[in-house]
Structure 1
Amino acid sequence: MVLFQVLTYSCDAIPIFNNLTHLTIESNPRVGWQSVPGLLKNSPNLETLIFQGLIHKATYRCGDVCLCKKPRKEILSCLSSSPVKVIKILKFGENSDDMEKQREQIKYFLETMPNLEKMILYYNTPSVEDVTEVSSRLQRLVSKVASSTCIVQLISDNLSLSSTVSTNGLLCF
């Protein structure tokens, strides 16, 4: 989180991170994602993006990485040119009050990232029914995708479900 704060308030341009292949972003309701778009644009070899939850401070300055304060139609995303192949979302569903926002964020990633090969959601719930319900909702949520070969995996302590994303949405198997 300190890196994001430094990059956000720095007057200097964000440097190019040629050697950055994995990036972990900590979830914090007091810190926004203002520096994430610049960081993604300047990380040409970034392959894995790990979110320790999707909760962050919603601001107009999050750029085009999230849907915080902007209508979807106005967004031209830096995600569409991102080389990221794998997204891991830890603590998915941890805050049940924000489940709809989290699903919308996942949908946004799937719709805007053409290089995405795998998305893994780590869902902390003891209930198999919860996992199947979330999987079902995700399947209905996604109607168009940027990567026709992306695999979405929903993992909990008791169950793991995988889906392949096609141009018609998620297909569960």
Structure 2
Amino acid sequence: MTSDQSRNASYGYLVGNATDFLMGICNVQILHLFANTLEVLTFCCELIPVFKYLIHLTIETHQNSGWESLPKLLKNSPNLETLVFEGLHHRYTIKCGDVDGCLCKYSGEIPTCLSSSPVKVLKVLRFGETGVENEIELVKLFLETMPRLEQLTLYYDTSSNDDLIKVSSQLNKLRRVASPNCEIQVISSKLS
């Protein structure tokens, strides 16, 4: 999607339907979606099919792309075991904070796409690029609401030992809200 198309999509001008395309790939086991694809799914997909064989989903994120289509996609992936975010960037929209409207904010109600999620492994690559505090809050939401989560791995590239210690300490405090058998780890080039 070009930058003009993306800008127009955010105003609802994008036309077409990507449902047929999704129906053609709904039997995959591994899927990698780019940030622009999430935008297309938001504005050009009347129905997101069930991805019954999908076990590994990677989502590339971008600060100019919203996550409105992500709850529907997760809800329609009943056997998803591994979810990878390439960063936690996204554009805030009017759907942010709505239960099942986005995943970025906790509105008090647990998004059903998370509470019923079969995901066991959650990885966040490029953790901290958009601000550690906001990303910690999102990680906390994942830990609180994903009951089957067994492993959370954050890939945090920082040049500061103090930042690494601070994030590790914050994550340690989150262990009490996570599933009892969830292992939380931070991987950093500083730990080499």
- Give TM-score, length-normalised by structure 2: 0.73
- Alignment pair present for 1:51 and 2:85: yes
Q: Show structure 2 runs of 5+ residues with no match.
A: 1-34
Distance 1:118 1:91 in 2: 17
The CA deviation at 1:137 is 1.8
Q: Show structure 1 runs of 5+ residues with no match.
A: 161-173
The counterpart of 1:13, out of the listed 47, 63, 67, is 47
The CA deviation at 1:10 is 2.5
Kindly indicate whether the alpha-carbon contact (under 8 Å) linking 2:82 and 2:121 is maintained by their aligned counterparts in 1.
yes
- Alignment pair present for 1:88 and 2:89: no
Q: Trace 1:133-172 onto structure 2 (pairs within 5 A).
A: 133-141=166-174, 143-145=176-178, 147-159=179-191
Task: Give the paired residue count.
Answer: 155
Q: Which amino acid is the alignment partner of residue 104 of structure 1?
A: E
Distance 1:80 1:102 in 2: 19
What's the RMSD between the two structures over aligned residues?
2.0
- Percent identity among equivalent residues? 51
Q: Which amino acid is the alignment partner of residue 151 of structure 1?
A: E
Q: Trace 1:74-153 onto structure 2 (pairs within 5 A).
A: 74-95=109-130, 98-141=131-174, 143-145=176-178, 147-153=179-185
Larger Rg over CA atoms: 2
The CA deviation at 1:65 is 4.8
Kindly indicate whether the alpha-carbon contact (under 8 Å) linking 1:25 and 1:52 is maintained by their aligned counterparts in 2.
yes
- Structure with bigger helix share is 2
- Alignment pair present for 1:67 and 2:104: yes
The CA deviation at 1:60 is 3.1
The CA deviation at 1:64 is 5.1
Cα 1:99–1:18 change in 2 (3 A) is: same
- Structure with bigger strand share is 1
The CA deviation at 1:40 is 0.4
